[in-house]
Amino acid sequence: MNDYLKNITPDSFSGIVFGLEGIPKAIVLINGPTGCKFYHSATSDNQNTKQLELDPLNYPEKWYFGQPRVPCTYLDKRDYVYGSKNKIIEALTFFKKNMEFDIICIVNSPGASLIGDDLKGIAEEFCENIPCVFIQTPGYSKTVCEGFEYSLIQLFTQLLERGWIKKKAEKENHGSHLKKVVNLLGISIIHKHFEGDIQELKRLLNMCGIQVNAVLSCDLTLESLKEAGNADLNIVINPEYGLNIAAYLKQEFGTPYYLCEGMPVGFKAVEGFIKDICRFLETDHEGMEQFLEESEKARARAYIFLSRLNSLTGLPKGVPFAVEGNWSECYSYVTFLVEYFGMVAESISILNASYDPGNMQLKLREFLKLHSMEASLENNILETNSELVFASANTIAKLKLTELRFSGIEISLPTMGYVDVIPKTHIGIKGALLLIEQVINGMMF
């Protein structure tokens, strides 16, 4: 409850919707009132733009209400008494006649899940020759991470049951690809820099002769979903958003998975990440050498700017910072900021603290103990005296209102509204350089 009292944070219902919205050609229909729609529609379209012009007359249909993504059945009090089947069928009929899509997903809102409508029966009756997924319950008080994982597991489970996805043994030509093929797990459209994260990870892996088939769940296609079970490895970038999905895929398809030691934030982390993946997949040595050469050049470039700053001010060593995020996110940022910059963790605020499938809490606590910074987990981020704050715009804005003198670096949604024309990332080699740039400028201005 602490997370929800301190801040506006998404829950399991949002995780389900955004997990399925990671399929651009999917229609994710919320069976619920319009109040359940607008936030999800706006966030999804902002992160994964479908409408090129902001015209309020576009998408005037009663399911869309002027927003191009996440239609809803606009339930009212009568529907909660007599059921929502008629409105669901009316919406599905409209979509089949007027919209282009690969898959339909029906998600019950919290209130609609109490009505008792048979979504499975409706889906099977109306979507006989259409890939269709239904989510009966939103998970109520579970975390956004759990909802996200649940949606992807249900996506695979239901498509397998209806024959839209086949297991390895039933597929032909498995193993014919020349490159090693992987799926990326634990990245979602509700991660601030998801587009840049994916581009950087694909670039580095491709450099080492590794092809990315699917990112679960961003920019997914029905074709990449069908091929997901044929991957040589599933790579879990963020355990809160992917470890249980990886375990499910291993059970169903026999695909092994690799769990990152925290997200690959910083030079040390990304070098270890790429080395481990290449070792596991036994890829060519030439690509690894090219990657290490690029990483060394990036380290040298970063050193120039950090050395000039340090020679004049002694910074960034000893600068106190605060960070907010899941256990794995906090571990990734804290280790880089402390080890590389010599900065001091003053406050660490954990979101969704009850959910830690990768046991990252233990790793973070051990790291903090080693550097005598255990107290940072007890310090309230809204009372921090840190010079740099790595958090969402909500937290940064709250701290600005206290007139605290600090620099805020956004690492998660929601944002202040800055438009990223060039996709950005804090992951990989390019991500390390961007984070160094933001830290340097954050201390100077």
CATH number of 225's domain: 3.40.50.1980
Pick the last residue of a domain from 100, 127, 158: 158
220 located within any domain: yes
Same domain, residue pair 252 and 293: no
270 located within any domain: no
271 located within any domain: no
Same domain, residue pair 245 and 153: no
Same domain, residue pair 344 and 434: yes
Domain range enclosing 119: 2-158
The percentage of the chain sitting over the pLDDT mark of 90, rounded to a whole number, equals: 86
Same domain, residue pair 27 and 101: yes
Looking at every residue in the chain, the average pLDDT score rounds to 93
Report pTM: 0.94
* Per-residue tokens: 168: 């390895």
235 located within any domain: yes
* Per-residue tokens: 97: 């006649």
Same domain, residue pair 328 and 240: no
pLDDT band of residue 1 (cuts 50, 70, 90) is very low
* Per-residue tokens: 80: 């909660």
pLDDT band of residue 429 (cuts 50, 70, 90) is very high
18 located within any domain: yes
Same domain, residue pair 300 and 438: yes
Same domain, residue pair 42 and 117: yes
272 located within any domain: no
Pick the last residue of a domain from 158, 182, 205: 158
* 56: pLDDT strictly greater than 80: no
pLDDT band of residue 5 (cuts 50, 70, 90) is very low
Q: What whole-number distance in Å separates Cα of residue 55 and Cα of residue 46?
A: 14
Same domain, residue pair 22 and 143: yes
Pick the last residue of a domain from 253, 282, 311: 282
136 located within any domain: yes
Same domain, residue pair 6 and 90: yes
DSSP letter for each residue of 169-216: GG-SSTT--SSEEEEEES--TTSTTHHHHHHHHHHHHHHTTEEEEEEE
pLDDT in tens, 306-328: 999 999 999 999 999 999 999 99
Same domain, residue pair 431 and 351: yes
Give, in degrees to the nearest 5, the angle at Cα 217 between 168 and 199.
Answer: 105
Same domain, residue pair 30 and 131: yes
Torsion sign (Cα): 150, 153, 155, 157? negative
Same domain, residue pair 295 and 424: yes
The number of folded domains in the chain is 3
* 6: pLDDT strictly greater than 60: no
163 located within any domain: no
